[in-house]
Structure 1
Amino acid sequence: MLRVHFTAEDLLDVTFAEEPAPLMELGLALATLQRDDGLEPALHRWRRGLRCELPGAARALLEIVPPAANGPLFLDPPVADLEHGLERVMTTPRGFVESELHKVLDSRARPSSWTRGLMAREGAAWKGLHASLRSAYGSVLSRSWPGLRNGFHLERAWRVHQLSRAGLRGTLAAWEPDLRWRGTVLEVRHPRDFDIVPAGRGIRLLPSMCWTGRPLIANQPAGPTLLVYPALASLPQLAAAPADDPLVALLGFTRAYVLSVLTRPRNTSEIAAEVGISKSSASQHAAVLRRAGLVTSRRDGKAVWHSCTSAGLDLLAGQWRS
């Protein structure tokens, strides 16, 4: 369990990132590339294609980006400009590089000569890192970045609307049971047991279109504590969304369709029949919408009935964009 000990000052200073962070999204995409658990079919297809297309120059990054997306912090600065981000990476102090790489590599195989060169600040290794990051970004994100950015701003608008109506606790409740509050301490489901003390620098929320796992919390060396969470629509869903339909761009086509049919109660079988998907897929989409606070579900015998919440109706009505 990870425990984040927020102060009153932190909780009074909650902000949303203004723009997506290219290197942050790249790191999360490379982590997702290595995961097999609980991915939707669209993400499985995207991951298979990405594995085939990832250039050799970019594959070295998989050694230092673990599937859990828990570091190294110097590799994915949360800045909106790619060039600025690369500059930040390349000027990381040696001590911070060593400590972050040791955290990642402690549980992995013996580091390669390239990784040892990164820790030693060898020029050739760092030139290779720069080339790997550029190559990976070009392959994974460059073509889809405009759509990703559009999806980010729609996601941000929706969450700001939620924050204004439900406060931070209500907004973060979408990720239960991954997150739980005990007073001002936020507990996050995590394979390791440790504590983070933000020390009054605030909280910045950053949605990701490339990450579908548990929320991630990073105590930045300077600035607010970063809470990265999976957006309602993943990158593959955004790629298929029409630019002129904000609801589809926010949720993905199938999930938006599911929400639209739930303006009156439907059971899982009825959703599947109306949308033209399997019962298991209908159940999965309803579960995602439920975690987002857009749908409520109740069991009646063997059937599970689903319907829109007031937040879901707001979303369908477009009130979140006003």
Structure 2
Amino acid sequence: MTGGAAPMRSRLRIHFTADDLARVRIASGPDPMWESVLSMHLLQTQRGARVFAGWRRESRARLGHSAARLMALNPAVGSFPDFLTPASGTTDLEAGLDAMLSVPRRQVRAELSTLPCGPSMRTWMRTVAEADADAMTELGQLFRAYYATVISPTWSAIVAQVEADRRRTAQAFLDGGPVAVLTSVSPDSRWRPPVLEIGYPVDRDLHLDGRGILLIPSYFCWRDVVTLVDPALPPVLVHPVRSSFTASGRPARHAGDDSELSALLGFTRATVLRALETPCTTTELGQRAGTSVTSASQHAAVLRRSGLIVTSRRGGAVVHTLTGLGADLLRASGA
């Protein structure tokens, strides 16, 4: 697929038919393969320093050199292999790994043949390209280790922010149908019927030909949308979530003035409400707001009784989410 750090000089033009518009789908949650692959790009560069600096520093320290082979397969600039992120999309790591390791050998060989390769990685790349059984087993193990080290500690924040983005997209669909959804994936999106144009590192046309397209909101997708290189594969469009939180789950610097909100609710309670711009657990809420878990729980209870948030149980966790009234209050305060 094509990502990269080139300036936005060119356009991706996605050509739709009426059938394609009826087949616009949104992934049911974050895709662990895409999150892993795109996070590797951030680790190899300084992109998104304001948001990802702390996460990058901690992740590099935990990884050491253990991910060098994965990075060689997945360069941060230019095109990277489609087989690393199977087009079917999944919210389950093992299902994604099974799909990756089942890609036909000819596809793996063709995609790796275009990658630059230093002497230290040449043998490794050759064995993967030939789908050598031991090399493919090792590839799966490397992905699992990387996920456990880098992605798993951030997974709750990833899920919360992707869920918030899915709700935003659902509202866009209710307000304006599939075209509103498509133009919401990037501030640079333009609908010129029947073509969606989006800023992209290279100039490219993608004809859907009735296949529809899967939209995948991604936590680690930075600024630019990403799609697969091979136009014959099922079409996907990966796009950044719109988030006000850093990769550590802490709020990014807020550009608005919350003085009126603080006067209304009190400083800490206003901070707690602002921290819920993306849903989170009580423990995460305390971390975001810089207060204890007990204090966060007490403030959440007051906000819930006031109709500003709702609380639900997901698995073993309690998750707090803004209501429409709470979101409106934040917007009115200068969000």
Aligned CA distance change for structure 1 residues 180 and 70 (closer, same or farther; 3 Å): farther
TM-score (norm 1): 0.68
Aligned to 2:113: 102
| Cα offsets for 1:189-223 (capped at 9, x unmatched) | 33333322222111222111112221112367664
Corresponding position of 1:258: 256
- Matched residue pairs, number? 255
Aligned to 2:83: 74
Work out the CA distance in 2 between the residues paired with 1:316 and 1:76: 34
Map residues 117-196 of structure 1 onto 2, 5 A cutoff: 117-174=127-184, 178-196=188-206
How far is the alpha carbon of 1:261 from its aligned partner? 7.0
CA deviation vs aligned residue, 1:8-58 (integer Å, no higher than 9, x gap): 211122221112111111001001212334x14231222222222224332
Output the CA distance in 1 between the equivalents of 2:51 and 2:240: 15
The equivalent of 1:43 in structure 2 is 52
Closer, same or farther in 2 for the Cα pair 1:260/1:76, shift >3 Å?
farther
Q: Give the letter aligned to residue 136 of structure 1.
A: Y
Deviation at 1:232, TM superposition (A): 1.4
Unaligned 5+ segments in structure 2 are 1-10, 262-270, 272-323, 331-335
Deviation track 1:243-299 (CA, whole Å, cap 9, x = no partner) reads: xxxxxxxxx4644x7386799xxxxxxxxxxx9xxxxxxxxxxxxxxxxxxxxxxxx
CA contact under 8 A between 1:28 and 1:69: conserved in structure 2?
A: no
1:89 to 96, 100, 103: 100
* Structure 1: tracts of 5 or more residues without a match: 242-251, 264-274, 276-312
Give the whole-Å Cα distance in 2 for the aligned partners of 1:213 and 1:115: 29
- Match of 1:237, SS state, is coil
The 3 A distance-change label for structure 1 pair 11 and 259 is: farther
Distance in 2 between residues matched to 1:64 and 1:208, nearest whole Å: 20
Q: Aligned partners of 2:51, 2:12: CA distance in 1, in Å? A: 30
Larger RCO: Structure 1 or Structure 2 (Cα < 8 Å, ≥ 6 residues apart)? 2
CA–CA separation in structure 1 for the residues paired with 2:102 and 2:195: 34
Cα RMSD, aligned residues only: 3.1
Paired letter, 2:191: W
Pair 178,64 (structure 1): closer, same or farther in 2 beyond 3 Å: farther
Q: Work out which of the residue numbers 109, 113, 125 in structure 2 matches 1:115.
A: 125
Match of 1:317 among 321, 324, 328: 328
C-alpha distance in 1 between matches for 2:258 and 2:176: 22
Q: Is the 8 A contact 1:28 1:211 kept in 2?
A: yes
**Aligned-residue identity in percent:** 29
> Are residue 56 (structure 1) and residue 65 (structure 2) matched?
yes
